[in-house]
Structure 1
Amino acid sequence: MVTRRVLVTGASGFIGRALVPRLAAAGRLVRAAARNPAEVPTGARIEAVAMPDLELPCDWSELLAGVDEIVHLAGISYRSGVEDTVYDRIIRGATAELARACSRLPIQRLVFVSSIGAQAGGAVEHPVHETDTPRPATAHDRAKLAAETEVRRARVPYTILRPALVYGPHVKGSMALLMRISASRWPLPAAAFSNRRSFLAIENLVDAVVFCLDTPATLGETYLVADPDPITLAEMITILREAAQRPTSTGTPAPFEILLRSSERSVLWDRIGGELVVDPGKLLATGWRPPVETRGGLRATVRAGLD
């Protein structure tokens, strides 16, 4: 059996640090590219290498030499104050250069991890499907959607994944902020949040990536990725607060909204304050079976944070 070599960009990030060991354990040789290679997980099948500066035109040829597959995670998270052109350069521009470089080589698969924001940037009253017209809400979301177009345009064998908001031990960004606020001493009216949300365990996202790499039927497809069972935001906050031994209270969501907006992460409120149910049925129909259930995954995340 031929051992496949896979390049993972952004290998030191939250997703990359979970994905790289999983790919190595599955028998692949992993070229793990990061801005700081010292932060990449170590292992016998893992080669840590330096990433190019995505803010500048990128030459991907050295990183792609001898590679069979690519998982492209590298990019920039949403942050207030970042100019639209920065998102476009780092997300769309660098992805376009990578995809074009792949098209000139015998690459078997490019998996591009996009974002649910590329599909639905805000609250949606009905379950979200891949067939819905994309409605990105921020410059970050628009850059992700544009990067998807660049991947398809390059005519390289690809799979595009649009994950829901990802959670797991040591999560960063918006999800980490939500967890910190949920565990704060502020009295939060958890019961007032009846809106349903889809989330995604990091283990399930990693499993979906590996599944797509191993499944020929996923070539040339775009998938929404989420835990199959959405939960209300009230359930999520209750789980987090119980683990942190914080009480919940009755009332309106107004204090929670004020706290989020004052933290310069108002986009998080815009994304969790309404309904957003992501339907992963298309990927499930191919045979993917996520190993982690949302409520158990959230409890495990909280326990890991308390250790």
Structure 2
Amino acid sequence: MRCLLTGFPGFIGTRLVRALLADADVVLDVLVEPRMVQRARAAAADLGDRVRLLEGDITEPRLGLDEDTYRDLATTVVRVYHLAAVYDLAVPESIAARVNIAGTRNVLDLCRGSAHLERLHYVSTCYVGGERTGVVLESELDEGQGFKNHYEATKFAAEVLVRDSMGEVPATIHRPGIVVGDSRTGQTQRFDGPYFILWFIHRMNRFGLTVGSMGSGAATFNAVPVDFVVDAIVACSYDPLTVGATLHLADPDPLTTAEFVRVLSRELTGKDPRGPAIPDALMRAALGLGPVRRYLGGTPYESLVFLRHPVRYDTTEATRHLGRNGLACPPFARYAPVMVDFFRRNLGNEELRAPVTIRRARSR
């Protein structure tokens, strides 16, 4: 069975390739953008001859492939896994639109022209809900919401394209929450997202301080381990009942952001947060300074809003479908110790640190 995957050698994509190869009948064509080819070759070095790296670009017509290669894909591919996207919360609109929207449109064009396509697995995000508050259902998409950044807005627009194409392209839409390291080993590819909180706790603790009352009792932090996301996508690949489904790959019972920070603080320092929170305006101003942002592990000011955003992602459909396949999202408190231990042991690993890019803050 020939499959096409985009987003290799990314964090989820690399693990998904290995998981899919557990099926001896699977042969994978992996689309890799030119600047990532060397890294992709290293990641694929031990994967054997059932993986073929294709140098291409989802933002280009016909995926930047030569005509013979593109035609070969269109006549042989059975499944497509589209993971490639820009995930940077501070990404400029033009780049986000080109990769997330135009890239998805080009993948859909291939899917429409594929003679034997059985399914597109499209990896979206819970955060297509944008600025919505309260409970967001898996069946919902366009509710007239605004968006906190261009990442959310363009992933929303891309999911609209996938949904509008379902009459021609059978698809399953996977919406992960905030993906963190492996729930069993803690291994991750980069210390970003919730790891910014760990950096802040670590730096404050060096001065004998705690993080104060970060987070909110009304907002939730929807962390989800990468192994659960990969296992869910693989399970859905073999489950015909998930064709046409949209699944929130998220914690059905997430901690509040205040509880989330408290768990991380206890695991890393043995202390509960205490004292007043640092005002958001002061944090935003400080994170606009390169040295401060670098000291705090590359934390972008755009991430602060998630600590106070009161939204909950319903997982009724995901729980039903994945439960039938023996899967359930583990609670954060269960794997927080290994996540923090991996962070502690790899503080000096520069390859895991998030890049520091300073952009002028947009007013909200």
Cα 1:192–1:8, aligned 2, differ >3 Å: closer, same or farther?
Answer: closer
Normalising by structure 2, report the TM-score. 0.74
Total equivalences in the alignment: 301
User: Does 2:43 match 1:40?
Assistant: yes
Which residue of 1 is the match for residue 306 of structure 2? 271
Cα 1:50–1:178, aligned 2, differ >3 Å: closer, same or farther?
Answer: farther
| Shift of residue 261, structure 1, vs aligned partner | 5.9
Tell me, in whole angstroms, the C-alpha distance in 2 between the residues paired with 1:287 and 1:175. 25
Deviations, residues 107-148 of structure 1 (Å, cap 9, x unaligned): 111111011121x22362x22212442635122212112212
Which residue of 1 is the match for residue 29 of structure 2? 31
- Percent identity between the two aligned chains: 22
- Cα RMSD of the aligned pairs, angstroms, is 2.6
Deviations, residues 70-110 of structure 1 (Å, cap 9, x unaligned): 11111112243x43122111111011111111111111111
Cα 1:276–1:23, aligned 2, differ >3 Å: closer, same or farther?
Answer: same
Instruction: Indicate the larger mover: 57-66 or 174-183.
Output: 57-66
User: Does 2:100 match 1:91?
Assistant: yes
Instruction: Indicate the larger mover: 176-185 or 228-237.
Output: 176-185
Cα 1:38–1:177, aligned 2, differ >3 Å: closer, same or farther?
Answer: farther
1:85-234 map, 5 Å: 85-105=94-114, 106-118=116-128, 120-122=129-131, 124=133, 126-132=134-140, 133=143, 135-137=145-147, 138-154=149-165, 155-168=168-181, 169-172=187-190, 173-185=192-204, 187-190=210-213, 193-194=216-217, 195-234=219-258
Larger Cα Rg: Structure 1 or Structure 2? 2
**Residue ranges of structure 2 left out of the alignment (5+ in a row):** 182-186, 289-299, 346-364
Cα 1:304–1:46, aligned 2, differ >3 Å: closer, same or farther?
Answer: farther
Normalising by structure 1, report the TM-score. 0.86
Tell me, in whole angstroms, the C-alpha distance in 1 between the residues paired with 2:22 and 2:283. 42
| Shift of residue 39, structure 1, vs aligned partner | 4.4
The one-letter code matched in structure 2 to 1:165 is I
Tell me, in whole angstroms, the C-alpha distance in 2 between the residues paired with 1:147 and 1:14. 20
Instruction: Indicate conservation of the 8 Å contact 2:58/2:64, yes or no.
Output: no
Instruction: Indicate the larger mover: 171-180 or 254-263.
Output: 254-263
Which residue of 2 is the match for residue 252 of structure 1? 276
Tell me, in whole angstroms, the C-alpha distance in 2 between the residues paired with 1:196 and 1:266. 18
Instruction: Indicate conservation of the 8 Å contact 1:128/1:278, yes or no.
Output: yes
Secondary structure at 1:95's aligned position in 2? helix
Which residue of 1 is the match for residue 356 of structure 2? none
| Shift of residue 204, structure 1, vs aligned partner | 1.3
**Residue ranges of structure 1 left out of the alignment (5+ in a row):** none
Instruction: Indicate conservation of the 8 Å contact 1:71/1:112, yes or no.
Output: yes
The one-letter code matched in structure 2 to 1:110 is L
